[in-house]
Amino acid sequence: MTEKVLIPQGTKLDIQYGEDQGSNLIHAFLKITDYSDNFLLAMFNGYESTDRTSFTVQDIQKIILMAIVHPSFSKNSTLILRIVGDTEFSNLEIEESSRVKVPNRKTKKKIDQAEILPLTKKNSSKSQRKQARKKRNKKIKKKKK
């Protein structure tokens, strides 16, 4: 089954599938050169002998959000995900979207600041989008207090 994963605009994503060796593991790397990668983070979902759980599309989306708030990540980076083990999907479709909200680089980045915004109507007026943005900013300010 084909599933869709959203990434920030301008980001390149390379998904590599490894051979199943009894554990479910995802590694996230930043491509530096053709010969070197910079390790960012990993996600582990158990061993085969201990009833491991399969990776879902939500797991993949979550690790992408964690990677984009990592201090080493830059906007036009190539993010490499190496998936080893079971998945609940057979194919991932990668879509660049402006709905993926990346925190401002000047502020301290946190995983809860990265999010995927809900779909909006393409014909919504500019003032409606501006009001929605103000409402989101008010919620963020309340959380900080």
Residues 108-134 have a mean pLDDT of: 62
When divided into structural domains, the chain yields a total of 1
SS3 content of the chain, % helix, strand, coil (to 5): 25, 35, 35
pLDDT of the residue at 113: 60
- Beta bridge partners of residue 100, listed in sequence order: 116
Q: Is residue 143 part of a domain?
A: no
Distance between CA atoms of residues 25 and 83, nearest Å: 6
Q: Is residue 14 part of a domain?
A: yes
Q: Is residue 140 part of a domain?
A: no
Q: Is residue 83 part of a domain?
A: yes
Q: Is residue 135 part of a domain?
A: no
Q: Is residue 142 part of a domain?
A: no
The highest-confidence range among 1-5, 49-53, 81-85, by mean pLDDT, is 81-85
Which residues, including other chains, have CB under 8 Å from residue 37's CB and lie 6 or more apart?
29, 30, 31, 80
Q: Is residue 29 part of a domain?
A: yes
pLDDT of the residue at 12: 86
- Model confidence at 70, pLDDT cuts 50, 70, 90, reads confident
Q: What's the domain range around 16?
A: 2-118
- Model confidence at 123, pLDDT cuts 50, 70, 90, reads very low
Q: Is residue 139 part of a domain?
A: no
